Structure 1
Amino acid sequence: MTVIAVPYHLDEHLPGLELPLAPDHTVVADLPEGGRWQRMAALYEQVATLVAEEVGAGRVPVVLSGDCTTSLGVVAGLQQAGRAPALVWFDAHGDVQTPETSTSGYLGGFPVRQLVGGSDRTVAEHIGLRPVPERDVVLVDARDLDPAEAEYLAGAAIRRVPVAGLPGVLPSGPVYLHLDVDVVDPEELPGLLFPSPDGPGLADVTAAVHAVLHSCDVVAIGLACTWHPGTGGNRVIASLAEELVAG
């Protein structure tokens, strides 16, 4: 394992982002002028290059960042290294928005849809990200969906399961394991940017992550540290983070 920090929320540099693991590498980019997706494309190009190098050296990158869009760079890096991963994606939200469906316009709600070939293509085209087939995506929990997201998922090949139902649908082949910490019930993890009530407890999420790590060929891990600074989320998640690097 090698721990990579990407201390950004979208294109905003967060040098004080509180992380549950000490990084071996930190990605900081001089982002160009332009729209947010153009700026993030430059950042994720660097993420992809570093991930590809680490995978090529036989290491499993664990990428910590402030939101889920960093996954675009991680998956592109895996593809550059000759891996075509399935996705196991833990999240309270669906992350399958498009510019046309999003009512908030929040770009952190787009990445799963981008990874399967839809939504805004700016980053994907810049970094050479190839679409992941919908059938190779397992969306875990996603209890908080907008109507447009629910409609899309009802007709998509993406499999959506509760945390407890995950062991029965784990994919074969290489896997990118992505964990947005807001999948955990906010009663156990205060300070989340976008808390969603009635979620699974930390122990249940940890057990499900353990099942993925020990049943799948996990070639990269993403941990979205989606909490407000100073709220102690990094300390609450520390044991789960240690589970990730222990493998």
Structure 2
Amino acid sequence: MADHSTDGAWDLIVTPWHLDEHIPAFPIPATATQAIRPVLPAGSVPARMSLLHQAVADAVTRAARPLVLSGDCPTSRAAVAGLQRRHRDLAVLWLDAHGDFNTPAISTSGYLGGMALAMLTGRTPDLFDDTLGLRPVPDTSVVLADARDLDPAERDALTTSHVRRVPPDPAAITSALGQLGPAPVYVHLDIDVIDSAQLAGARFPSGPGPSLAQIEECLAAACATANIAAAYIACAWLPEHVSDQTSRQTITRLAAALGASLAWHEPAGG
């Protein structure tokens, strides 16, 4: 039975980072509960990310119902690790133009942002230290929506996995979530899933895709179907566009589809 979890208030956590790089222009809503800004010492990118992720996981652990706004996808490992501290089982709904299913062994670029879902499913065991205590999410508990832009080896990896792939369609998402059982669901959305024509300034535009309105319908369908324990919006715009008025409006609409009402400080410019 649906939990209609949009009835509950959200705790808004902002992580203004892309990998280990702070994004000074990242928009922080006036309604944010916390913005994560640890001082990261010099070191390797994974080591610096590990420290950031520990801070995010701790914030998620303290939040009753976390909604994370972030500048990347890999910080999702921190959100999920924090959730796993109070939920034994967890399902994942991942909406993204990309599969994020690369690993160091198959990635042609080595870009860590393209490995985020692989991280959650235990496919990158040697990439980070184990301080988060992240438990791999079984493939059978993952629903991947869209993923229209895949590398060849990544496509093969998804094909041989047990990740359930669906189109970015409310009915398909409702059906897939209904087959996952009663486990609480973590919803992850990368803004680049939206049609690039509606998404100026995205870091990795992926061409024609679902409209913003269709993605809003997908999120609303998920909330009406499943017990949504937490949600995450990867605000993957270029740093000079992430605080544009249109970017903030997109974030606001996506959050509203999840049942969260965002308020913003007066912008310095749009």
**Shorter-chain TM-score: which interval?**
over 0.9
Match of 2:173 in 1: 166
Distance 1:92 1:19 in 2: 24
Question: How is 1:27-176 mapped onto 2 (pairs within 5 angstroms)?
Answer: 27-54=36-63, 59-123=64-128, 125-164=130-169, 165-170=172-177, 171-172=180-181, 173-176=183-186
Distance 1:148 1:16 in 2: 35
Q: Please report how far the alpha carbon of residue 120 of structure 1 lies from its aligned counterpart in structure 2 after TM superposition.
A: 5.0
What secondary structure, in the 3-state scheme, does the structure 1 residue paired with 2:69 have? strand
Task: State yes or no: 1:182 paired with 2:192.
Answer: yes
1:219 to 217, 220, 229: 229
Task: State yes or no: 1:8 paired with 2:17.
Answer: yes
Larger Rg: 2
Q: Go from structure 1 to structure 2 and tell me whether the alpha carbon gap of 1:239 and 1:227 turns closer, same or farther (over 3 Å shift).
A: same
Q: Go from structure 1 to structure 2 and tell me whether the alpha carbon gap of 1:21 and 1:141 turns closer, same or farther (over 3 Å shift).
A: farther
Match of 1:204 in 2: 214
What secondary structure, in the 3-state scheme, does the structure 1 residue paired with 2:140 have? helix
Q: Please report how far the alpha carbon of residue 12 of structure 1 lies from its aligned counterpart in structure 2 after TM superposition.
A: 0.3
Task: State yes or no: 1:194 paired with 2:204.
Answer: yes
Q: Please report how far the alpha carbon of residue 19 of structure 1 lies from its aligned counterpart in structure 2 after TM superposition.
A: 5.0
Distance 1:75 1:30 in 2: 22
Any conservation in 1 of the 2:144–2:163 contact (CA below 8 Å)?
A: yes
TM-score for the superposition, normalised by structure 1: 0.93
User: Percent of aligned pairs with the same residue?
Assistant: 43
Q: Please report how far the alpha carbon of residue 242 of structure 1 lies from its aligned counterpart in structure 2 after TM superposition.
A: 1.9
Q: Match for 2:52: what amino acid?
A: L
Distance 2:161 2:88 in 1: 23
For structure 2, the residue ranges without an aligned partner over 5 or more in a row are: 1-9, 262-270
What secondary structure, in the 3-state scheme, does the structure 1 residue paired with 2:25 have? coil
Any conservation in 1 of the 2:28–2:35 contact (CA below 8 Å)?
A: no
Aligned length: 243
Q: Go from structure 1 to structure 2 and tell me whether the alpha carbon gap of 1:189 and 1:22 turns closer, same or farther (over 3 Å shift).
A: farther
